[in-house]
Structure 1
């Protein structure tokens, strides 16, 4: 008497064969691993660049009628935070705040004002230097217009007060974005091409002749993608850690939480791939459809530079994109030392996206 057909064994067999096919695909390896690594290496060696945008705070005892304060408020790339002293110090420690600016009258009256900056070792040194340059430029303009007969009306105290914090490196911003780039590319392009070709080549139709259930076919193919992509995530993180000192605050615990977050994001991104494979009429229509999903997120989700550099009208759109919330959660966990329980807002938004995406995927997905 024949035993009952083992669905799990069949699913694992599909997973194994699909994983072999993935490893034999040069394009998959390039987009999932090589391409993100190239960006990491480039930014890791040259230290990044681009438009600078950051947040500062003004000490509660500071003279806010001073032209320097008014000048800082008018600089497009600078945001001025208003929080309690405890919250501001916490933001400084985590690198969210570039500096606290304190503008005080000089008792010696020469120059009339002294500007003191308070920062931390977590802050990007480039941002701190740019802030000092901006303040210096504001002082020069005020001197030229209002104080032409005095040497200067204000000076910056070169002795910047610094509180302890983690050393900020460019890789701490770049690597999460590139990992998200890898997961999104693999999830959308990989799944879309895979299931479209399986349908076109009648492979799925041949599966129907076997006792394996449809859900196990999907799970088998999806599991192979998950295994491959999480493996590339491990490689990306390890190279960033040991080659460029990427910050993992709690070591192995942080690494495991990043992997859980990557798994959640990958499941969502694969849903986009199912949608594209379902609505694509020909193989040539897959890239443009997939790019509609991926390209805006690559550019607007904080992958290469902070979303603060975009115009204010565009930032709400940036904050809706799922990749933005993955990148934010990654940076909180890796650099700031947060846990998954501290990123429930980001995870919740990824979950809402997953519900919507898979509801659409179920409607449009085709087996034949």
Structure 2
């Protein structure tokens, strides 16, 4: 009696063959490596310097309080003083000023100061940075048992990580690379295998259908992870992309990449199932990828969108992958800290694979 057929070896063999095919595909290289890399290089060169938030101080503010003193020395904040209310309002409307702060002594005594901050929708990307700076500063103040001195505040809050444009752009480009690989790659491959009767020939062998799927998926994941590592390395060593915990951060980003890619491949299975011809795959795939590319915070914060559009942006799976990537890379969050984003991506995955089961065709 012969040895039983080893489907594990068959899966690995299919993965190896598919990986070689992907490496020879110009479109795969362009969407996974070249396209994101071009954007990273462009934004890396124009945004290699530190981001500055232009913060106006309202007339009548207490300029000697610890909040203003600390912000005045913060490397990411540029304070605008001695400006009248009309000029400040005009600057906020045009985006020349990113926010307005008014700090007064608290007559009640505790907390010592009350800070009121007004942001402008013209520069909400910088507004989110300022929110992080102020939250850290106010948390330090509120944690004190006694009223802090300016020196104590300066030592505890002025030191901070430099937030560069690349820290926002790179996770978005990495997410888009995974989206393109998952949707376009999966759709074209399985449609071609079905159209060329390759899958039908597999059915004449002992290879299981699951081995065909897993083999292709392993190849896609392997290629996407290589692309992710390449993008992260370029961003870190050439443009100082922040990896707060070094190799641990990279590992967490790669795990997020795997989760995101698996979800996005589900869209590819759906497209390959409903496409009537190879020429219909690009338009159907673009209907899925283009809105996410534009609305999921790839280039700028979704807070800049109109209020009615933001719920749509927050419903897209790429939004949560980008958000999780940025929290892990710059804020040092672990996977458990971004469990909400992961859960939403998993829910998307369950839903899209349920659709894929109904639409996917083997022959």
CA RMSD of aligned residues (A): 3.5
> 1:16-27 residue pairs with structure 2 within 5 A?
16-27=16-27
Match of 2:40, SS state, is: helix
Match of 1:339, SS state, is: coil
Change (3 A) 1:349 1:99: same
Shift of residue 68, structure 1, vs aligned partner = 7.4
Is the contact made by 1:173 and 1:331 (CA closer than 8 Å) also made in structure 2? yes
1:44-96 deviation digits (Å, cap 9, x = unpaired): 001299xx9x998999x969xx9579949985979xxxxxxxxxxxxxxxxxx
Aligned to 2:313: 318
1:262-281 deviation digits (Å, cap 9, x = unpaired): 10000000000000000000
Distance 2:334 2:57 in 1: 30
Match of 2:101, SS state, is: strand
Change (3 A) 1:3 1:175: same
The correspondence for 2:226, drawn from 231, 251, 256, is 231
Aligned to 1:201: 196
Shift of residue 102, structure 1, vs aligned partner = 2.8
Is the contact made by 1:99 and 1:117 (CA closer than 8 Å) also made in structure 2? no
Change (3 A) 1:244 1:349: same
Distance 2:232 2:100 in 1: 33
Distance 2:207 2:35 in 1: 36
Distance 2:347 2:86 in 1: 44
Shift of residue 304, structure 1, vs aligned partner = 1.1
1:331-367 deviation digits (Å, cap 9, x = unpaired): 1010011111110110010010001000000110000
Change (3 A) 1:195 1:163: same
TM-score by length of 2: 0.74
Aligned to 1:240: 235
Distance 1:329 1:57 in 2: 31
Q: Which runs of 5+ in 1 are unaligned?
A: 79-97, 106-115, 119-123, 132-160
Distance 2:199 2:56 in 1: 59
The runs of at least 4 consecutive aligned structure 1 residues that moved more than 3 Å come to: 54-59, 66-78
Corresponding position: 1:348 with 2:332: no
Match of 1:212, SS state, is: coil
Q: Which runs of 5+ in 2 are unaligned?
A: 63-83, 106-114, 118-122, 131-153
Aligned to 1:158: none
Distance 1:31 1:302 in 2: 18
Distance 1:289 1:245 in 2: 37
1:198-231 deviation digits (Å, cap 9, x = unpaired): 0000000000000011011110111111100111
> 1:208-287 residue pairs with structure 2 within 5 A?
208-287=203-282
Distance 1:333 1:9 in 2: 35
Corresponding position: 1:177 with 2:164: no
Match of 2:245, SS state, is: coil
Shift of residue 163, structure 1, vs aligned partner = 2.3
Match of 1:303, SS state, is: coil
> 1:38-187 residue pairs with structure 2 within 5 A?
38-47=38-47, 71=89, 75=93, 101-103=101-103, 127=126, 163-187=158-182
Is the contact made by 1:318 and 1:324 (CA closer than 8 Å) also made in structure 2? yes
Match of 2:163, SS state, is: coil
